[in-house]
Amino acid sequence: MVIRQDKYINYRLTTYNQNDINASDELFSRLNLGNRLIPLKKAFLLNLLLNLKQSYANREYLLIPLNKNKFRNLTENQKVNYRTYDIVYATINELLRTGYIRKRTEESFKAADGSYSVMSAGYFPTDNLVPFLNGIEYSDISLLRPKSFLILKQCEDYDDIADKEVEVEFKETKLTKKLKKDLELYNDLREKSELSIRKLSELNFFKHKQKSLVPISADDLNSLSPVNRRYSFKLRNSYLSRIFNRTFKRGGRFYKGAETIMPLDVRKHLYIDGKPTVEYDYTATHFMMLYNLKGVRLRKDPYIVAKNMSKRMRKIYKNVGFISLNAKNKVSALKALWKHFNKDENRELLPENTKEQRLHFIDSFIKHNKKIESVLYKEKCHMLMNYDSKIAHDILMHFTNKGILVLCVHDSFIIQKRYEKELLRMMKKFYKDRFGFNPKIGKK
């Protein structure tokens, strides 16, 4: 795995500030990158400097894969005109040769449990480059608007790594044209709106800073000064995309917006155009759908299988439920649960992680949800995601057509507090329109 604090290059970073462009052009004049494709090489150098500006500010190495395969078979949506192997490779080598960046070689480390971690090769500015980086304002960095917000992914085999998802081209249909048009309208509204985090506690600021806040902040978080031990900052413009899996009947959830990588305790401090927000989500969405599709109203929490259950146990059963829903059979569910609870971030939930424990949890969950036992182990997850993404689409477009921005985190929705009642009405309406039952909705 990659060391967490390091970030991969983002080929979509850009700036429209002429001073930033001038700083990049001045550096370009000192490099020997030949006389061909000058505009493209200048464009990539500017993009690279913006990435290095972030890396330098956050003391991270910038990861830039230089394997030729990484530049092949890109979809139209993934392509940026300067994202070619020849341009990237030549620019990196020239910056190394002239001493503007330094390289960290790749290293492997063996952990106590026998697993290996990889510290990937990365790049970091030298003192020679710092004056050019100082000529770039951190707050000027923005994102290029994607060519399309509709994405189809396919599973392919890559040597011994099976089922790696890659973005693929697709044929246009009436459906894809409609989805694209709606996504364009929605993201037009996002571009006109300003998102910010206000009065985030010192504890949550430092807890989430490196992993979740740095990638989405428009401000240099290392330069912020708290007020009464609370932090406020603007978010960089971001766009929401719908990602389908294999076909347009699988998946379709919304991703890539700043809110989708933001933890709940940060989202509670989210402001839209300077106004505080509120967040609601559907409770146990997928299992509620499964019960409703059987013509049954879900009257109990599908994850609470016994009285006086602790929050820890409910979280375990929630994981058991989702994995059982998407597994092919009980054997594959057992393996998936072992892998899940063996991850560092989940290990404290089930430290022993024995087969007997996992079997007990699976059997108890099935017994508690007997009415939907027949649909477990049917790999239904992508189908259910498609259902909830259609509801999300209806909600987003209802408010977009009224010029009101609503943010989406799968089956959870964030809106200015003054539109709270209307959001609840629409969440109930669009769910009932599709499933015939009133949904359970909770406030985050």
- pLDDT (tens digit, 9 = 90+) per residue, 429-443? 999 999 999 999 999
Angle, CA 50 vertex, CA 49 and CA 53 arms, to 5°: 85
The predicted pLDDT at position 154 comes to 84
Residues making up the chain, counted from first to last: 444
Residues 2, 63: Cα–Cα separation, whole Å? 9
Q: What is the CA radius of gyration of the chain?
A: 24
The predicted pLDDT at position 272 comes to 98
Q: What is the pLDDT of residues 25-47, one digit of tens each?
A: 999 999 999 999 999 999 999 99
Residues 237, 256: Cα–Cα separation, whole Å? 11
Measured between alpha carbons, how far is residue 111 from residues 1, 105, 286, 354 in Å? 12, 19, 37, 21
DSSP 217: B
The predicted pLDDT at position 2 comes to 38
Q: What is the pLDDT of residues 369-394, one digit of tens each?
A: 999 998 888 878 889 999 999 999 99
Q: What is the pLDDT of residues 118-131, one digit of tens each?
A: 667 799 999 999 99
The predicted pLDDT at position 55 comes to 93
Residues 257, 392: Cα–Cα separation, whole Å? 14
* pLDDT beneath 50, residues of the chain: 1-4, 156-163
- Specify the pTM: 0.88
* CB environment 267-283: b (16+ within 10 A), e (fewer): bbbbbbeeeebbbbbbe
- Domain spans, the chain: 7-143, 150-285+381-443, 303-368
